[in-house]
Amino acid sequence: MNYDLIIARYGEIGVKSSKIRARFERKLVKNIKATFECKVERNQGRIYIYPKDFDEAIEKLNRVFGVVSYSPAVSTRTAYNEIDNVLASYAEDLMSENMLDKNTKFAIKCRRVGSHDFSSQEMAARCGNIVRNVVDAPVDLSNPDLTIFVEVRGDDTYIFHEKIKGPGGLPLGTQGKVVCLVSSGIDSPVAAYLMMKRGCEVIALHCNNDPFSGPKVTENFNLLIDQLDNYSNGAPIKRRVIDYGEYLTAAKQNAPEKMTCVLCKSGMYKIAEKLAQKLGADAIVDGSSLGQVASQTLPNILATRYGVDIPILSPLMGLDKLEITEIAIKIGTFEISKIDDGGCSAVPRYPQTHADLDNVKKACEDMNQENEIEKAFENIRRL
């Protein structure tokens, strides 16, 4: 098929005010251009993309947040004879690719924007006759095997037969920055992905628990961010790592053993808050799913987030493991998260599941949490 452009569509951007809509459109165009080499035009709620490499563009558009669907298309001028010729050639190409033959039930759907001397129904009927002149296929408007779309927009007409589903969401970078706590497990990379889909630029923070975990944990973190970076064109993910072993040692030595996980998560949130303040982020994100592990019961969620003044967002909170895993498989992080990293040996045999806030406050004082966090934060570094 000799396509000459790709038509991309967006969804909720279209309901924004004209000023916000224009800003979001500009950011979406910028992100598309950062994903593959192309020229892009905006017009009347459509994004027209003229890529250098069509195969690359069709594959990678599925990673550009804000794109709801897209269609490889051919274009022509809005004139009867030109539409007739291009559509006939298009139908012949469909036949050569075995998508259209005399047994294929087909339909023409015409959409018009602008003033023309024909109606959408008239153009659809005309186009149907053109296709039937190429191949004597039956027309079925209710349940077609193949639908050919003819989109007439002013002086230009576009013909296509595919509507490829995009990732949807909002253009990356339109909703500010967030600090995402990312481990080497299944959940937190999915949480980061979902916030990117909502337009957030991500700063990925990894806590290195050495000597309670091995080097494989940080290696897997890097692999996971490499994979997520496939979706971050226009706003690449920033990576930060912090040595967390000394903090965990202080928690285990100076507080009840069963509270280690609660104090661990509490410290992570407070370190993430400091990083957010330093880098201009507006929220913290984690991979919590209610009740999934000891630190994610409601009492523990309350206790671990005490003392943090910026929002903590948990996009997986209402999802179960199967739902989270399905997303991880879809975005390509699941197989990386399955790599054995040795786990964390700091986890107690019987972790606290219903933490009392007053007891947690006392444990934080006993371990001198504020001082331990300051020491750890001094050594935060880029990866």
pLDDT digits (tens, 9 = 90+) for 202-253: 999 999 999 998 888 999 999 999 999 999 999 999 999 999 999 999 999 9
What span, in angstroms and rounded, lies between the C-alpha atoms of 119 and 46? Answer: 21
Task: Tell me whether residue 311 is in a domain.
Answer: yes
In sign, the C-alpha dihedral spanning 93, 98, 100, 103 is: positive
The contacts of residue 324 (CB under 8 Å, 6+ apart) are 186, 187, 190, 289, 316
Instruction: Name the token pair of 297.
Output: 């019961």
Domain holding 293, by residue range, is 177-382
Q: What would the pLDDT profile of 155-189 be if each residue is shown by its tens digit?
A: 999 999 999 999 999 999 999 999 999 998 999 99
- Choosing from 109, 143, 165, the residue where a domain stops is 165
Residue type, 366: D
Domain count, the chain: 2
Per-residue pLDDT at 134 exceeds 80: yes
Residues 291 and 270 in one domain: yes
Residue at 122 is within a domain: yes
Q: Is 152 exposed, middle or buried (0-12, 13-18, 19+ CB in 10 A)?
A: buried
DSSP string of 169-191, one letter each residue: S--TTSS-EEEEE--SSSHHHHH
* Per-residue confidence band for 348, with pLDDT thresholds at 50, 70 and 90: confident
pLDDT band at 383 (very low <50, low <70, confident <90, very high): confident
| Best mean pLDDT range from 10-14, 191-195, 216-220, 358-362 | 191-195
Same domain, 21 and 145: yes
Q: Which of 145, 165, 185 is the last residue of a domain?
A: 165
0.75 exceeded by the pTM? yes
Residue 191 and residue 314 in one domain? yes
Please indicate, yes or no, whether residues 85 and 125 belong to a single structural domain of this protein.
Answer: yes
- Pair 118, 157 in one domain: yes
Cα 105-111-115 angle, rounded to 5 deg: 145
Question: What tokens does 185 get?
Answer: 């497990």
pLDDT digits (tens, 9 = 90+) for 269-307: 999 999 999 999 999 999 999 988 777 889 999 999 999
Same domain, 240 and 139: no
Residue 291 forms part of a structural domain:
yes
Whether the Cβ atoms of residue 7 and residue 70 lie closer than 8 Å to each other: yes
Are 136 and 204 members of one domain? no
Q: Are residues 130 and 75 in the same domain?
A: yes
Q: Is residue 53 part of a domain?
A: yes
Q: Are residues 111 and 184 in the same domain?
A: no
* 285 and 329 share one domain: yes
**Average pLDDT of the chain to the nearest whole number:** 94
Query: Angle, to 10 degrees, between the axis of helix 260-279 and the axis of helix 245-254?
Result: 140
Q: Classify residue 325: in a domain, yes or no.
A: yes
Q: Is residue 171 situated within a structural domain?
A: no
Q: Is the dihedral of CA 278, 283, 194, 298 positive or negative?
A: positive
Same domain, 26 and 110: yes
172 within a domain of the structure (yes/no): no
* Domain endpoint, select from 165, 196, 221: 165
160 and 230 assigned to the same domain: no
For the chain, how many helices (H) and strands (E)? Answer: 13, 14
- In the predicted model, what is the mean pLDDT of residues 318-330? 96
DSSP classification of residue 325: H
pLDDT at residue number 296: 84
CATH of the domain at 148: 3.30.2130.30
What CATH number should be reported for the domain holding residue 259?
3.40.50.620
